[in-house]
Amino acid sequence: MASFSLQGIPVSRGITIGRAHLLRPAALDVQHYLIAQEQVEEEVLRLQKAIAQVQRDLQSIWSELPTDAPTELGAFLDVHALILSDPMVSEAPLDIIRTRHYNAEWALVTQIDALSAQFDEIEDAYLRERKADIAQVAERVLKILTGTAHQLPRAMGVDERNANMIVVAKDISPADMMQFRDVSFTGFVTDEGGPNSHTAIVSRSLGIPAVVGLGNASHLIAQDDLLIIDSDAGVVIVAPSPLLVAQYRDRQAIFLKAKKKLGKLKKTPAITRDGVEISLFANIELPEDAHAAMEAGANGIGLFRSEFLFMGRTGANHQLPTENEQFIAYKQAVEMMKGRPVTIRTLDVGADKPLETHEHNILNPALGLRAIRYCLKEPQIFMTQLRAILRASAYGQVHILIPMIAHAFELEQSLAMIAQAKRELHAEGYAVAAQVPVGAMIEVPAAALSVAMFVDKLDFLSIGTNDLIQYTLAIDRADHEVAHLYSDTHPAILQLLEMTIQAAQKAQVPVAICGGMAGDIKLTRLLISMGFRELSMPSALLPEIKQEILNTNITQCRPTVKKILRSFDPNAIQKLLNQLRGQVCD
């Protein structure tokens, strides 16, 4: 096979070489063709066999359920088996083959589409939701028919092939990404997604090479194709020559060696050449990520994206996490950090992190009911979370961070609810830390332009540059079509950062950066010379940012940084940034 390469958007670091594992919804790839009269019964048999195979698979999953599995799980499998034996699913497509001569896949999809349309009409929400079960059952049958019914290998490094698996997909939802955490795979490649889409963020926090926004990769790459991902360059090479593989293996070895060397900095404090100490924090999505944060030598957790506890909950687990479940998760992170601060951001759902239970504005979700807006509309969900966070505060240093604040009343209502949660917990006899600092994310331009409106009521600020860029430049961060417009050094962004730090310094309130800019080594000198003293980033990036800080002299950088902040010429800004990075410090 001829080699070719694809250019996408880099979202992580490093190089990986492995075999493609395609994750493609089978329904999208169904072939449509008409069959001859004499082939009809053969085609009918093919579909019957696939349905029987899925029935057997469901039974075997049932019989292998551990004895302590939740009863809902069995019930869930029963529903799927029932759907599959319903004549509307198992018989009607056979009639379509016989009467219209459609191939088996087409016949099944036609019948499922017709059923789905009927389900859309149903008033009862529970019954309407069964449409998803029907789609899942049909998907299983289609995967058998199309021969794509591979399971993701679960055993880490059991054999050479599994250990070097690269997931290729149209898109992977952040919730699905979380499932891959237990699976052995060494890279991922998607057609969609932008540099700071939440899917990209999860891959970065897993520390594995990835390229997103490739447009058509999942159609150009075939199952088991050999791939090289050069994630620094955002390039995927398909079917590389042995010579190229050898060259990339060398580069991979150099990268891994450098990474190992950086690991030795774990206990070194991040102090610049001219003696300024910078606190480096980690961003985490799940409590167990705190382990990587400790390994990287983080000073604490600067951003715990708590919404990942709420997403991707299906089957027996589909309810939102209870107060106790959340409390256990937060307490786990707090205990793992051994007294270091843990900044728990309250639920930031919506946009590219939808809740399964939450209907959102499909036209413009990023501008819809997201983050604090959602929480204030659903006060019970918010109160449950605040109680869980406050209970965890008795086990270490907990900070509460409120996302997407834009209005004074949003902050006032949030603070009132935190105070109420504290009162309730005290009355119920729960321990709560005497001090639980509350901060807000500055990630909507309105907030950056009016920091003075909030700052007196807050203990700290944290700038979410991913959203600040999205909302300032009016580009959907998850849309690869506009990813080229995503610019973190646009003068408007630099001005907003500068305004925020000035206002925070005036009010003597600490201000961190927890968006992607904090982990971008090209910007480290700029940010710390502007006065930022706290940066929070994926654990995997922390060592190299620390190395850069150790090599920086802020006093020497300041004149160039002043010029950058005064400039409104993108080319000049870029030149000055390059100059800043190339500067040799003494």
Which window, 7-15, 133-141, 209-217, 462-470, contacts ligand PEP (CB under 6 A)? Answer: 462-470
Q: Are 455 and 438 in contact (CB under 8 A)?
A: no
Q: What number of chain residues touch ligand PEP (CB under 6 A)?
A: 11
Give least dist CB 333 to Mg ion, A. 19
418: buried, middle or exposed (CB in 10 Å: 19+, 13-18, 0-12)?
buried
Q: Are 65 and 11 in contact (CB under 8 A)?
A: no
Give least dist CB 539 to Mg ion, A. 19
Site for ligand PEP in 133-192 (CB under 6 A): none
443: contact with ligand PEP by CB under 6 A: yes
Q: Are 437 and 460 in contact (CB under 8 A)?
A: yes
Which window, 109-117, 215-223, 314-322, 459-467, contacts ligand PEP (CB under 6 A)? Answer: 459-467
Give least dist CB 508 to ligand PEP, A. 23
Which window, 72-80, 97-105, 155-163, 465-473, contacts ligand PEP (CB under 6 A)? Answer: 465-473
Buried b (16+ CB within 10 A) or exposed e, 351-360: bbbbbeeeeb
Of residues 187, 234, 439, 464, which one binds Mg ion by CB under 5 A?
464
Residue 305 interacting entry, from ligand PEP, Mg ion, none, C-beta within 5 to 8 Å by type: ligand PEP
Which residues belong to the active site?
A: 198, 514
Q: Are 536 and 513 in contact (CB under 8 A)?
A: yes
Which C-beta is closer to ligand PEP: that of 198 or that of 546? 198
Of residues 213, 300, 396, 464, which one binds ligand PEP by CB under 6 A?
464
Within 10 angstroms of residue 344's Cβ, the number of other Cβ atoms is 27
Which window, 43-51, 463-471, 486-494, 503-511, contacts ligand PEP (CB under 6 A)? Answer: 463-471
CA 390 – CA 287 distance, rounded (Å): 16
Residue 479 interacting entry, from Mg ion, ligand PEP, none, C-beta within 5 to 8 Å by type: none
The residue count for the chain: 586
467: contact with Mg ion by CB under 5 A: yes
Site for Mg ion in 9-28 (CB under 5 A): none
Which C-beta is closer to ligand PEP: that of 396 or that of 516? 516
Residue 143 interacting entry, from Mg ion, ligand PEP, none, C-beta within 5 to 8 Å by type: none
Site for Mg ion in 26-45 (CB under 5 A): none
Residue 465 interacting entry, from ligand PEP, Mg ion, none, C-beta within 5 to 8 Å by type: ligand PEP
CA 156 – CA 165 distance, rounded (Å): 11
Beta-strand pair 438-442/279-284 = unpaired
Residue 329 interacting entry, from Mg ion, ligand PEP, none, C-beta within 5 to 8 Å by type: none
Which C-beta is closer to ligand PEP: that of 89 or that of 201? 201
Give least dist CB 354 to ligand PEP, A. 13
Give least dist CB 100 to Mg ion, A. 50
Residues in contact with ligand PEP, shown as a per-residue x/- string from 323 to 352 under the rule CB under 6 A: -------------------------x----
Which C-beta is closer to ligand PEP: that of 108 or that of 371? 371
Q: Are 230 and 255 in contact (CB under 8 A)?
A: no
Beta-strand pair 9-10/210-212 = antiparallel
Which C-beta is closer to ligand PEP: that of 392 or that of 513? 513
Site for ligand PEP in 255-314 (CB under 6 A): 303, 305
CA 445 – CA 459 distance, rounded (Å): 20
Collapse the DSSP code of 556 into the 3-class scheme (helix H, G, I; strand E, B; otherwise coil) and give the result: helix
Beta-strand pair 438-442/187-190 = unpaired
- DSSP letters spanning 350-392: BTTB--TT----SS-GGGSS-HHHHHHHSHHHHHHHHHHHHHH
Q: Are 331 and 395 in contact (CB under 8 A)?
A: yes
Strand partners, 9: 212
Buried b (16+ CB within 10 A) or exposed e, 9-23: bbbbbbbbbbbbbbb
**Residue 436's closest CA among 346, 528, 570?**
346
List, in sequence order, every beta strand (DSSP E) within 50-184: 165-169
Give least dist CB 565 to ligand PEP, A. 21
Which C-beta is closer to Mg ion: that of 167 or that of 511? 511
Site for Mg ion in 420-459 (CB under 5 A): 443
Of residues 514, 549, 557, 573, which one binds ligand PEP by CB under 6 A?
514
């058509």: which residue's tokens? 216
Give least dist CB 332 to Mg ion, A. 24
Tokens coding 58? 């469901």
Tokens coding 71? 């009863």
Give least dist CB 461 to ligand PEP, A. 12
CA 214 – CA 201 distance, rounded (Å): 17
Within 10 angstroms of residue 161's Cβ, the number of other Cβ atoms is 13
Q: Cα separations (Å) of 378 from 282, 371, 420? A: 29, 11, 16
Residue 6 interacting entry, from Mg ion, ligand PEP, none, C-beta within 5 to 8 Å by type: none
410: contact with Mg ion by CB under 5 A: no
Of residues 515, 519, 538, 543, which one binds ligand PEP by CB under 6 A?
515
191: contact with Mg ion by CB under 5 A: no
Site for ligand PEP in 467-506 (CB under 6 A): 467
Site for ligand PEP in 29-88 (CB under 6 A): none
488: contact with Mg ion by CB under 5 A: no
CA 66 – CA 69 distance, rounded (Å): 5
CA 454 – CA 584 distance, rounded (Å): 40
Task: Please give the residue ranges that form the binding site for Mg ion (CB under 5 A).
Answer: 443, 464, 467
Binding site for ligand PEP (CB under 6 A): 201, 303, 305, 348, 443, 464-467, 514-515
